[in-house]
Amino acid sequence: MAARSLRRFGTVLPFGGAPRRGSLYFRGSPCVFSTAAQQRSTGDECGPEDPRDEPKHPLSDCALEHKAIKLEEQVRDLTERYRKALADSENVRRRTQKFVEDAKLFGIQSFCRDLVEVADILEKTAESAAEEAEPSNPNPTLNKIYEGLSLIEAKLQSVFAKHGLQKMNPVGGKYDPYDHEIVCHVPAEGMQPGTIALVTQDGYKLHGRTIRHALVGVAVESQE
């Protein structure tokens, strides 16, 4: 029945015009119906091109050389920055270490300033006891007091030296404004002008740093 119906409407013809299985040609109309396989084949041929098949353009030698030069400049810049950062960190470490060492050495500086005043009082007391304990005034009690004060003074100076605290002995030396403070001028009798002739108060240094200036009298030329 189906074959008879198709013969009524048209004749089976091939796609190219000659009779071929798979195509239908209707009388009075040029329409041709192709099979599904032919449509798929035609659609694949007319599809978009694969982008991977496009030709690639590699970088030229000049562009590669320019890029290499730029990378070398960046490496040099980063290396210089690293060296500067390393030097800064080393300076900070040294300053911190110096600060810690100074704190250990000079942490007792204010205590030493107070303690040298006690040493001054002890020294003056010993000198007074020495004047009273003269051979013309034999007093065994004063002699014992003087001997005891002398031992205490010597022991105190020994403790000072143990902890880096030293008394200055500037008599006969040159005047130094960082260590000495002038309180008077005296005639230069047998001394060079500008040298220290006497000391009214002893000065002290803690590990080479002056913690109390010596009060001194400087020799000057006598004016006749």
The answer to whether the predicted template modeling score (pTM) of the entire model surpasses 0.95 is no
Unique residue bearing structure tokens 């009798």: 189
Unique residue bearing structure tokens 């404004």: 177
| Phi, psi of 88, deg, nearest 5 | -65, -45
Reported as a single tens digit per residue, the pLDDT across 156-201 is 999 999 989 999 999 989 999 999 999 998 887 788 888 999 999 9
Reported as a single tens digit per residue, the pLDDT across 65-103 is 888 889 999 999 999 999 999 999 999 999 999 888 888
- 217, 219, 221, 224 alpha-carbon torsion, rounded to 10°: 50
User: Could you give the CA distance from residue 67 to residue 75 in angstroms, rounded to a whole number?
Assistant: 12
